[in-house]
Amino acid sequence: MRYTRQILLYMRIYVETAFPGSYKELLRHSLQKDQLAFRDEITTEEERLNTLLKADILLGNPKPAYILQEATNLKWVQLLSTGFEYYSNVHTSAIVTNLQDFYSSPCAETVIAGILALYRGMDTCTLLKSRQKWVGHALRVNLQLLYNKKVIILGWGNIGRRVAENLKGFNCDIQVYSRSSGQIRSTDELKQRLPDADIVIGCLPGTEQTKGLFSEEMIYLMKPTAIFCNVGRGNLLQNEQALIDALYQRKLGGAVLDVTFEEPIPADHPLWNCPNTILSQHTGGGYSAEYEGMIQTFLENLEAFKNGRPLQNQVQLSKGY
């Protein structure tokens, strides 16, 4: 039976995410009138599935994806991620919400920190410190400024907009690739602009339209001093090996990669030894108050849900937004 909006008080909530103990207690304290079930406190997979199938609300990102489709009693699913392409083929009558803008600031700061590390030699200085080796003055000739750089941002969602806001402080010349609202609206236009760009920053979600969008040709259209960054999805690159080759051959100035095609990267992967490459290991959205922020977002939406008000950050799984 489809859910109809009405005032609801008592809910069965299944928590998929393995929150640390203190945050579980925060949820228990905040939801004393509800029935909470934490996945990591249930001992068998059979019992976990049965509990989920009875739940009214799901907090977290279940795997495999088809479980979400089988849980027909669900009325609302709060995903604890921005991206949700993993569930694109799932059909559910439940309302689905994600975290949308939640990770925008940390992701933006991560990619800019990576760029600054390359430009100001912080990556080199860190390695020299571990070796107790003083180079000093000789480093200065290779240092660059982010100030006044020409930047192309791929994607104009929450992360792309936050990156642009932060870059304004460096007086960067910013152009945006977006089919609906950017100065660059096609891949042909993008190819024309790439040779002039100092930095290209991928902030696109993982959809069929963006998969493999940044081609091998585009990599080699960038100038040898340019930096390629990706804080969106690892499948943005059509050919990750082409990026690796360009970095090893010094045909590209550097890379800042929060996401990669394969995660985690195997020990023998060539990215580990790529020159001028920052690998932030998909930590871009992280910060010390992450769990607290997730819970606060959920509790605010839960109050709206129980009182029949519209939920924030609703998404349509099939459409990818």
List the one residue out of 64, 274, 52 whose CA is nearest residue 260: 274
Separation of alpha carbons 158 and 83, rounded Å: 12
Cα–Cα distances in angstroms (integers) from residue 154 to residues 184, 200, 214, in the given order: 9, 7, 9
Question: Residue 122: which H helix or E strand, with range?
Answer: helix 122-130
Provide the residue type at 198 as one letter. D
Helical spans, DSSP H, in 270-311 = 290-306
Query: Which positions are annotated as active-site residues?
Result: 233, 263, 282
| Residue 115 CA: distances (Å) to CA of 231, 233, 271, 275 | 12, 18, 17, 14
Non-local CB neighbours of 189 within 8 Å, separated by 6+ positions: 177
